[in-house]
Amino acid sequence: MQYKGQYKVFDNSRVKTYSIVGRKNKCSLRDFINLDELVKKDIIFPKEEISEIAKAIVNAYRDKKPVIVITGAHSIKNGMSPIFLDWMKRGVIKLIGANGAVVIHDFEYGMLGETSEDVRGLLAKGEFGMAFETCGYINQAVIEGNKLKLGYGESIGKLYWDKGFRKKVIDNALRGVEELERYIRPYDGFKYSEASVVAMAYKFKIPFTVHATIGTDIVDQHYNFDGEAKGGTSGRDFLMFTEVISELVDGGVILNIGSAVTGPEVLLKAISMVANVGKVPDKIICADFDMRPLSTDNEARDENKYHYYFRDQKSVATRIPKVFNGKGYYIEGDHRLTLLSLYQYFFKYLSRL
């Protein structure tokens, strides 16, 4: 990525990386929720609102209306992937929208079966976010995908399932790298592909859109980071996302899971765009899952109160459903309770179809 302006820029070719092999991680596939066992248990976090959301998802699935999931990284990191994988396999989900951190954790699960480095321990050494395979391969997949005018999520999915594309990505990422024997080189595919939400979304032909920002992801620290490629692929993802939002003219469900800023803001702009061209959403169910206490509607409207700046509560749970004849929910609590309960209710109502 060249710069020809009047200011000094950091030379990222000086950054040193290391192989992810042997890195200590806090999360592994052993932590993935077991859905077969989950549905046999009593509801973990019984709540009428969660039951209503689950029923809305099942009804939308039955009536072939869109169910759209927007998620932050912690749902993936903390082992909730089997829920999304199950919903994709059943054909429940129309699209998954995410930020760049989601891709990183999901990719490490698909490649290594583990994720979540020790940030505090590695930061002082200058090693936080410097695992070569994660960032080198993600960045190169985005670069190669951008050349083909693909989306961000699509480029990562293609890395899993297209052998020729994968070889090009790996070879180009490893160009100039010494001691190649140290690094994971998955020419024959990724060991845990079926645990990756991005990989399986591509396989099931479900859009996985990545709404990326510059400088927020560890991939941006590496020598092969290309902001033009990241912006280009993510920009196409925004238009994919907006196209699916345009299908909400006769109802549907939007779930926002732990995305406090990016997801709600992307959703708000996409909804404005589709309304502008006559595809006005109607009777949509919006559910926001997070951990902060819910502010009142008056607090959310008052710019002098901090509640006004809780974009997920303001847009997803309140403003959007009110404007478009829908219903909004805010579910407060740890996703390891609330999201599991949502799946339990979902399975309960699905079995009655």
Query: Could you report the per-residue pLDDT of 248-272, keeping only the tens digit for each?
Result: 999 999 999 999 899 999 999 999 9
* Residuewise pLDDT in 10s, the chain (353 residues): 889 999 999 999 999 999 999 999 999 999 999 999 999 999 999 999 999 999 999 999 999 999 999 999 999 999 999 999 999 999 999 999 999 999 999 999 999 999 999 999 999 999 999 999 999 999 999 999 999 999 999 999 999 999 999 999 999 999 988 777 889 999 999 999 999 999 999 999 999 999 999 999 999 999 999 999 999 999 999 999 999 999 999 999 999 999 989 999 999 999 999 999 999 999 999 999 998 887 666 666 677 777 667 778 888 988 999 999 999 999 999 999 999 999 999 999 999 98
Examine residue 264 and state whether it is found in any structural domain, yes or no. Answer: yes
The answer as to whether 343 is a domain residue is yes
The answer to whether residue 276 is domain-embedded is yes
Query: Does 213 map to a domain?
Result: no
pTM of the model: 0.94
Each residue's pLDDT tens digit, 204-242? 999 999 999 999 999 999 999 999 999 999 999 999 999
325 within a domain of the structure (yes/no):
yes
Q: Is residue 251 part of a domain?
A: yes
pLDDT digits (tens, 9 = 90+) for 170-212: 999 999 887 778 899 999 999 999 999 999 999 999 999 999 9
How many domains does the chain divide into?
1
**221 lies in some domain:** no
SS (H, E, C) the chain: CCCCCCCCCCCHHHCCCECCCCCCEEEEHHHCCCHHHHCCCCCCCCCHHHHHHHHHHHHHHHCCCCEEEEECHHHHHCCCHHHHHHHHHHCCCCEEEECHHHHHHHHHHHHHCEEEECHHHHHCCCCCCCEHHHHHHHHHHHHHHHHCCCCHHHHHHHHHHCHHHHHHHHHHHHCCCCCHHHCCCCCCCCCCHHHCHHHHHHHCCCCEEECCCCCCCHHHHCCCCCHHHHHHHHHHHHHHHHHHHCCCECEEEEEEECCCCHHHHHHHHHHHHHHHCCCCCCCEEEEEEECCCCCCHHHHHCCCCHHHHCHHHHHHHHHHHHHCCCEEEEEECCHHHHHHHHHHHHHHHHCCC
Residue range of the domain that includes 68: 46-94+247-353
In a domain, 335, yes or no: yes
